[in-house]
Amino acid sequence: MTGQVVIIDYGMGNIHSIQKKLARLKINSLVSSSHQDIIAADKIILPGVGHFGQAMEKLHQLDLIHVLNEEVLHKKKPILGICLGMQLMALRSEEGNVNGLGWIDADVIKFKVKEKLKYKIPHTGWNEIIIKKESPLMKGIPDLSEFYFVHSYHFKAHQSEDILNETDYEELFVSSIQRDNIFGVQYHPEKSHDVGELVLKNFIQL
């Protein structure tokens, strides 16, 4: 079942590249910050590129927190957070020292690499994922598949059962999470060729 897919527009995401990728998969989507559209949606995508603190401020300004909590936590509507969109699902971030949505027991912390010549920050480019548990989001995706990353902060989950993927960048960090209907990926599926398309397709087909 596909139904209505809404990409949340709060001024912080590479929204149109996601919409373009969905269109290539023959999936219609709506870019919106309207409460009515979010309530009517069958699936929600929360994108994000930029500063955590500014993103939370935008969500508050648009009065989106309550409607997202209602649809995701109470109505159990599937949601996919991409990059900053996944980080916003955590309790708190070092970036801005502000609270997130609090859906996942996790913090967002800055990379603290030791070998700075080898491991540049932001972490940019292709890297492998290690699949930690079975999930419909990973259907047909081989372990150690490569995805495209761009980020300076990373997710630190406090409950191991929430971790869907890990990635090694000097040390292991959480690159995807899942708790019930809540999915998040630190990488950019819309920039990750065939495996990225498959992640989006799997989410839409939930």
Catalytic residue among 95, 134, 190, 193: 190
Active site residue 60: no
Write out the DSSP string of 25-58.
Answer: TT--EEEE--HHHHHH-SEEEE---S-HHHHHHH
Range of the domain at 34: 5-204
Burial 36-56 (b: 16+ CB within 10 A, else e): ebbeebebbbbbbbebbebbb
Catalytic residue among 123, 151, 154, 188: 188
Active site residue 190: yes
Q: Each residue of 67-113: pLDDT tens digit?
A: 999 999 999 999 999 999 999 999 999 999 999 999 999 999 999 99
Active site residue 74: no
Contact indicator for 131, 141 with CB cutoff of 8 Å = yes
- Give pLDDT, residue 1: 46
What is residue 120's three-state secondary structure?
coil
Instruction: Assess whether pLDDT exceeds 70 at residue 41.
Output: yes
Structural domain count of the chain: 1
Average pLDDT in the chain: 96
CATH number at residue 46: 3.40.50.880
pTM value? 0.97
What is residue 12's three-state secondary structure?
coil
Catalytic residue among 71, 83, 95, 123: 83
